Amino acid sequence: MIREGASHYYTTSPVFHPVCLSSSWGPPVEPLLCLGLALRLPGRRYRPQICSGARIYFILEEGRVRIESVKCGTAELKMGSLLSYFDRLCGRQRGKEEERHLRANDRPFNLSYQYADNAIKTSKYNIFTFLPLNLFEQFQRLANAYFLFLFCLQLIPQISSLSWFTTAVPLILVLSISAVKDASDDINRHKCDKQVNNRKVDVLIDGELKSEKWMNVQVGDIIKLENNQFVTADLLLLSSSEPLNLVYIETAELDGETNLKVKQALTITGEMGDSIEGLARFNGEVRCEPPNNRLDKFKGTLSLNGQTYSLDNEKVLLRGCTLRNTEWCFGLVIFGGPDTKLMQNCGKTTFKRTSIDHLMNVLVLCIFGFLACMCAILAVGNAIWEAKEGSVFTAFLPRPPGVNTPLSAFLAFWSYVIILNTVVPISLYVSVEIIRLGNSFYIDWDRKMYYPKNDTPAQARTTTLNEELGQIKYIFTDKTGTLTQNIMSFNKCSINGKSYGELLDFNGHRMEITEKTKKVDFSWNTLADQKFVFHDNSLVETVREGNPEAHAFFRLLALCHTVMPEEKKDGELYYQAQSPDEGALVTAARNFGFVFRARTPETITTVEMDTKITYDLLAVLDFNNVRKRMSVIVRNPEGKMTLYCKGADTIIYERLHPSCNKLMKVTSRHLSEYAGDGLRTLALAYKDLDESYMDDWMKRHHEASVAMDDREERLDQLYEEIEKDLLLLGATAVEDKLQDGVPQTIEQLAKADIKIWVLTGDKQETAENIGYSCNMLREEMKDVFIVAADTAEGVREELQKARRTMCPGAPEKASVIEARAGLFWRLKTQTVEDEKVDGEYGLVINGHSLAFALEKDMQLELLRTACMCQTVICCRVTPLQKAQVVELVKKYKQAVTLAIGDGANDVSMIKAAHIGVGISGQEGMQAVLSSDFSFAQFRYLQRLLLVHGRWSYLRMCKFLRYFFYKNFTFTFVHFWYAFFCGFSAQTVYDEWFITLYNLVYTALPVLGMSLFDQDVNDRWSFQYPQLYSPGQLNQYFSKKAFVRCMLHSCYSSLILFFIPWAAMYDTVRDDGKDIADYQSFALLAQTCLLMAVNVQLCLDTHYWTAVNQFFVWGSLSAYFAITFTMYSNGMFLIFTSVFPFIGTARNSLNQPNVWLTILLTSILCVLPVVAFRFVLMQLRPTINDKVRYKMRKEAVPAPTPRRHPRKVSTRRSGYAFSHAQGYGELVTSGRFLLKRPTKSRSTLFSQVDSPLAQNQPQQYRTITEVPEEPQST
């Protein structure tokens, strides 16, 4: 059977011609020859002949024969799946997609294009690849590869003077610990993937709706979504339960906004409704753009019944959205799994490593070079000694056959490589992992970062980045849900020149409003939202007294909006607003007696002071970004026509009647006060209209609304004409409630010299308001630059103008310093240095301008200008732009960055930054799942950085300095001993001491210091955020600190070798017996070493705990206990060759001069350190020294409430609503509320309360004007 579309061709008397089919999209399919395939000659009708009970289905398309499937009995093999399998098997990748072509309800057709299915994969390993891949990754770490090489050397008996297990056991331990940790992380990723991929959705298959897993959904499938379900894939909306085929979606996972968006299906597909038969017959073909990461754009066409329909972004539902307030909808899968726009925006998962990790790799490389130099010196010494002195002993100790002086030196070189390997002990990496794990547990266990309201503790989701938290220079944060709660509350208002919303005492001072403050009683209003919070009773009294201006004010709020009501029971109202601002304002009007009850395309019904009134809705003058206002024209039952308008105050003021000048000045003062408090303000005005004028205007409005050319321009002219000579009613002040402690957190982080950039998908006015609320933007700033040009040249000019204003003397061209870094200095780095600026500035740039600024030829201009500013706010940015901004700063500033967000739109930014922090808030878990650390509130960030991050960095640096000191000291003693043992590669210490030195004797004390030490406690860390700055400058551990550590070790090793050597030289015991033997010297040298490094550890420890004490004294006790046991007669008799130091401990350690030598070496090792630190503290004390001194002198003052004088702002808050243009046209549509008959309609509204109902009262404190105290110099 050969099929082309719906046609089938049959033929008889076939002529057999065996062929080998090949595909332009796959490898030759030679195995099909065995099926007995035959085709007729070209130009003739044909059919395949099938043998062995098999049948091959073909598709004729564009002159080609394409295999659709092979069917044998009940088994069917899809050709697309077969070719996809062969491609993967042969290592072939799908070519770059130029255009997507798909057909509805035709899986074979779509499978032939090998489109990705809907399964997602974020894991790295599977059960077969884990071991080889993980070992490959671990051996990319230079030290692990080195120890593997060392282990191989130790298997060669001619050069090994140490047992093989001294390296093998620690190496296996390190690899196992890292492998277990990596496996645990990847198992969690597998679980997350499985959870998402196994979600169920209804898919239309063979004319029936079947429940399928998400992972089994294919491109071209038609799926059914129900209310509150996540969108399975990127869908073309076909039909919905709502009028006009509308659906409401929440896009919080994509752009961070929780207000709902509206999407609308094509009329031709919407007519199918929920008819399964009609949907099953639907065979439309879609041609559209290939997979990309542009969330706001979509281009495509739908071909159906010979007609072509245009598709745009308003017809598409994206994966990651949530269906709201829509009973059901059907959609056609366009992009699945990794091709969806959500996944395209997620960015690549990169293995993050700290700057200390990178530095350690470089240092390890340098240590290898240093080790080779030491071994070369000793090998040369061996050659010289063998030539001059060794020949004398050959009579007594003959050389092995074939061994001469050069070969002896060569073998000595590798012997010393083994002996001196402790300069890079493998236990270093084990200890580092343990320290990081311990510091991660501190974050998990911190009760001060636990959010009881949601039962959400802080979580360190990775254990490899803790110390990087102490080096952050730039923070990139989302706004909605991160800085704010995304809950709007009606806070204050100004009506006819009087301000409401504040409580004043008898002296006229503002009173603090707390949860205990008495709330306004709205029980008189049976339709009020009982959870609405307001504290000023005077406004209720004004309304109930019948004040006409107050009634007109709230009447405007109840009429001028695009809110949709839902009434389930008598009196139970639920509002669905596209903008949370509108929801707050309509809810406020409801509580003050003007209740919006219902709307039709022609009417609006309200209940005003218990009286039901229905207004005729004559026109909606819709909002857009240019108008920044919205108006409605209504007629009341008496026939009076009125225009109600609300919008940005500057826009409204331009259109007021001259009689309002006095009221405008008073209202402006109130607006400045509201804006100073960071509130979002709107001005309200109205105008009574004449009947005859309205008849003419409505006629012209209808003509303009149906015009095919210049429709928008003609409507704008009509709107401008009628929105004149307005009468001012007042202004509203709505608060987008900040999360608790956000301004204080930002202030603390700024004191720590951390720069905060806000990258948000919200509009400019909203972001500016939050900037002022958070004290990121301040009136005291010299200037706040707005970059909003629409062309590349315009953006360049605005950036250059801002830069020249801030730093007139700066060069026009950026100075880029190029250098080399990384392992083997292979990485090229480019650094743009900070430029000094006099004063504080802010920068606000929108997403359109940012797109130009991020182009290659303008990147440095953006970076220079932005880094001169104290605050940077980027508005309307896409998730990819967020990541690009982070990458730009990482590339040219060589600083540690942190990104924090709470939605899927922040994932790419979180992955791009050095540290990613997810807030488990209202927008799902995508950000948390991609983050390195997570918690519930933004304010916990200061504790994460200023306490945990700083302590982790301090502890890690102390650990590394001490670890390198004790191991270099240990190794250098071997080096000096070589000059006294004929360069024979003999060890100066007992072999068991070498084995246990890092694993037992010194492991726990240094871990105790690295896990519990702190220079100052958490209270003092908050009191002095400046303590954080040394980490940003890498002052605690760097290449210079490493060199100082080596010099210190060199000095200590000289003391630890030559003092015991001199003390033991020609020394006898009290009974006259000789004590100067090798074993006694080895015991004395190793005991002096252990004492000296423990004393040094005690000097480095600032914070002592019982655990530290136990570890230090316990390790010393363990040393002596193990030493006396191993050097006992019993161990010698049992294992004679393993424990040769019989009696050495009891014979040496009972001599007073041995203990005197131990005391002397310990004092000489630490005396220079104590003296140097004392002098340095007196002459150049650090910030840590100063704070520790102050801590010893006084207690931490109790935190006092901050009192700020009222701010009076000269700025204006813009029209901050975020609903889409054109929504007014929808609500006035004649078909808008014509409900399609449905079966028992389920609950449509998941949010049973208005957003305002979840508010907590705004916290105020009594504010008094306090003059600034003169600062002492």
| Residues 728 and 660: beta-carbon distance below 8 Å | yes
- Cite the active site residues: 478
DSSP lists the bridge partners of residue 71 as 55, 76
DSSP lists the bridge partners of residue 900 as 477, 917
Give the C-alpha separation, 879 to 912, whole Å. Answer: 11
| Residues 478 and 903: beta-carbon distance below 8 Å | yes
| Residues 889 and 895: beta-carbon distance below 8 Å | yes
Contacts of 1001 (CB under 8 A, 6+ apart): 993, 1090, 1115, 1118, 1119
Comparing C-alpha atoms, which of 1196, 1032, 1005 is closest to residue 1116?
1005
Q: What six digits make up the tokens of 997? A: 């030195």
Q: What six digits make up the tokens of 47? A: 């059919």
Comparing C-alpha atoms, which of 857, 825, 863 is closest to residue 845?
863
Give the C-alpha separation, 792 to 812, whole Å. Answer: 18
Q: Is 1143 helix (H, G, I), strand (E, B) or coil?
A: coil
Sheet holding 75-78, edge to edge: 7-9, 2-4, 54-61, 64-72, 75-78
Which one-letter DSSP state was computed for residue 742? H
**Which residue spans within 531-602 are E strands per DSSP?**
564-569, 572-576, 594-599
Tokens 């065996």 map to which residue? 18
Give the C-alpha separation, 586 to 588, whole Å. Answer: 5
List phi, psi (to 5°) of 1266: -110, 120
Tokens 């079966």 map to which residue? 1239
DSSP lists the bridge partners of residue 643 as 633, 687
| Residues 760 and 506: beta-carbon distance below 8 Å | no
Amino acid at 31: P
Through-space distance between the first and last CA atoms of the chain, rounded to whole angstroms: 97
| Residues 624 and 1223: beta-carbon distance below 8 Å | no
Give the C-alpha separation, 958 to 357, whole Å. Answer: 15
The 10 Å Cβ neighbour count of residue 30 is 10
**Which residue spans within 415-464 are E strands per DSSP?**
459-460
The alpha carbon of residue 575 and the mean position of all alpha carbons in its chain are separated, in whole angstroms, by 33
| Residues 762 and 256: beta-carbon distance below 8 Å | yes
Burial class (CB in 10 A: 0-12, 13-18, 19+), 394: exposed
Contacts of 1008 (CB under 8 A, 6+ apart): 1105, 1107, 1108, 1110, 1111, 1112
Q: What six digits make up the tokens of 529? A: 């939202």
Amino acid at 941: L
Which one-letter DSSP state was computed for residue 519? P
